[in-house]
């Protein structure tokens, strides 16, 4: 009994290979402990820090690891394999991820909350990320103007229970996003419009007898 259970565990471990069939940035069930630490990237604020034991337990698709998300966003580490992306091989999926942020002066900018990917890894991301699976939008080259990092201190969905255990009134960085410039924002708006038009025409075709 004990033997078969440990064999099953080995099967599960052998099944998952980070960067191949599980993205580097997703959480694993073995990474359930959290801590607080002074933020290195957002001076004066406190970071939520998640223990790092990638490969322990099973991957939790759909739950991005808090610390790896931040490391990936700050250091341009690849969402799929975790290695640094050089500027010439750094891509985003801005049609499917991130959103538009309205600034205090009313200007709208694109904000991306998913770390970039290598072009080779972008192909794997299509298979690994359910929200990309049905989309035909191509990966987009990361802009020359890399924008600026903005912290999010509101509670990330799914972390409400953890948030209740944190000291009251303490501003904690749960995640961050990259606020891009006006030029890239217009590019993303255009791509999303085109993508919607394509998706719309497909729907019309599907409805035709």
Can you say whether the dihedral through the CA atoms of 113, 173, 81, 181 is positive or negative? positive
CB of 90 to Zn ion, least distance (A): 10
Closer CB to Zn ion, 24 or 180, in the complex: 24
Question: 155: number of CA atoms within 13 Å, CB side?
Answer: 13
- Please identify, among the stretches 28-36, 75-83, 101-109, 174-182, the one whose residues bind Zn ion according to the rule CB under 5 A: 75-83
Q: Which of 145, 151, 153 is nearest to 182 (CA)?
A: 145
Q: Is 159 exposed, middle or buried (0-12, 13-18, 19+ CB in 10 A)?
A: middle
Query: Binding marks (x or -) toward Zn ion, 16..55, rule CB under 5 A?
Result: ----------------------------------------
Question: Residues near 13 by Cβ (< 8 Å), separated by ≥ 6?
Answer: 55
The size of the interface with Zn ion (CB under 5 A), counted in residues, is: 5
Is residue 81 involved in binding Zn ion (CB under 5 A)? Answer: yes
Is residue 64 involved in binding Zn ion (CB under 5 A)? Answer: no
26-28 vs 59-64, strand pairing mode:
antiparallel
Query: Binding marks (x or -) toward Zn ion, 105..144, rule CB under 5 A?
Result: -------------x--x-----------------------
- Residues within the interface to Zn ion (CB under 5 A): 78, 80-81, 118, 121
């Amino acid at each position: 009994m004990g033997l078969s259970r440990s064999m099953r565990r080995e099967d599960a471990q052998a099944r998952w290979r980070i960067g191949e069939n599980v993205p580097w940035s997703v959480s694993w069930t073995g990474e359930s402990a959290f801590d607080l630490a002074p933020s290195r990237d957002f001076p004066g604020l406190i970071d939520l820090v998640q223990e790092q034991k990638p490969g322990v337990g099973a991957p939790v698709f759909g739950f991005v690891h808090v610390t790896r998300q931040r490391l990936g966003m700050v250091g341009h580490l690849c969402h799929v394999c975790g290695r640094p992306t050089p500027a010439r091989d750094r891509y985003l999926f801005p049609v499917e991820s991130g959103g538009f942020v309205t600034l205090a002066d009313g200007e709208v900018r694109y904000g991306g909350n998913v770390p970039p990917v290598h072009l080779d890894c972008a192909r794997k991301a299509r298979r690994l990320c359910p929200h990309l699976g049905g989309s035909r939008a191509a990966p987009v080259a990361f802009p020359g103007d890399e924008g600026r990092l903005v912290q999010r201190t509101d509670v990330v969905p799914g972390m409400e229970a953890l948030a209740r255990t944190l000291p009251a009134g303490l501003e904690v960085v749960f995640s961050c996003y990259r606020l891009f410039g006006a030029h890239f924002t217009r590019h993303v708006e255009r791509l999303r419009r085109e993508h919607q038009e394509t998706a719309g025409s497909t729907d019309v075709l599907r409805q035709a007898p």
